[in-house]
Amino acid sequence: MNAPESGRPARMILLPLPLFPLQPILSRIVRRVAAENPSMFNRLGPWVGADYIIDPINLPFALHLRPDREQPILRAVSRRALPPHAAHISGKFLDLLELIDADLDGDALFFSRALVIEGNTEAVVSLRNALDDIDGSIAERVAGMFGAPGRAALTAMRRAGERARHKEARA
């Protein structure tokens, strides 16, 4: 095996993933959540239509969220080309997922440095308040949009998160 051949698989893994296949799924999710929860926009106050970067650090992309009544946006973006934003929230994917549903304490994550907030903290607090006003689990609603496979994927992700937390606690 010559040198170019041996390095090829590693280079292929490091290539940026195409994000376009995710866009219709993410768009469907944000439109559904916005349509089912119109009152959440009242809690956003002046931050309706603000741009947020939600950055799951263990995924190969970030998310651009714009909670807008008429045209909400949720799309995958490259970390190398982030759009202008009011706030940048980063943490592990499963922590962010559980934070959406208030299953984890955002303050505890922030002070343990598992959650990093940059930019306008008032915008982040308003977003958190808006999400808190949604009845039930956002993650379960989204998983339900995709039927049995979506629910199974959510269950698997939650179990993986529990195992990771138990492993971290023992370490």
One digit per residue, pLDDT tens: the chain, 171 residues? 444 444 444 344 444 567 888 899 999 999 999 999 999 999 999 999 999 999 999 899 999 999 999 999 999 999 999 999 999 999 988 888 878 876 666 666 665 677 889 999 999 999 988 888 888 888 899 999 999 999 999 899 888 878 877 787 787
The three-class DSSP label of residue 114 is coil
Q: What CATH architecture does domain 18-135 belong to? A: 2-Layer Sandwich (3.30)
Nearest of 151, 154, 50 to residue 98 by alpha carbon: 154
Structure tokens at 4: 């170019």
pLDDT (0 to 100) of residue 32: 93
CB under 8 Å to 87, separation ≥6 — which residues? Answer: 50, 52, 53, 117, 118, 119, 120, 121, 123, 124, 127
For the chain, which residues make up each domain, given as ranges?
A: 18-135
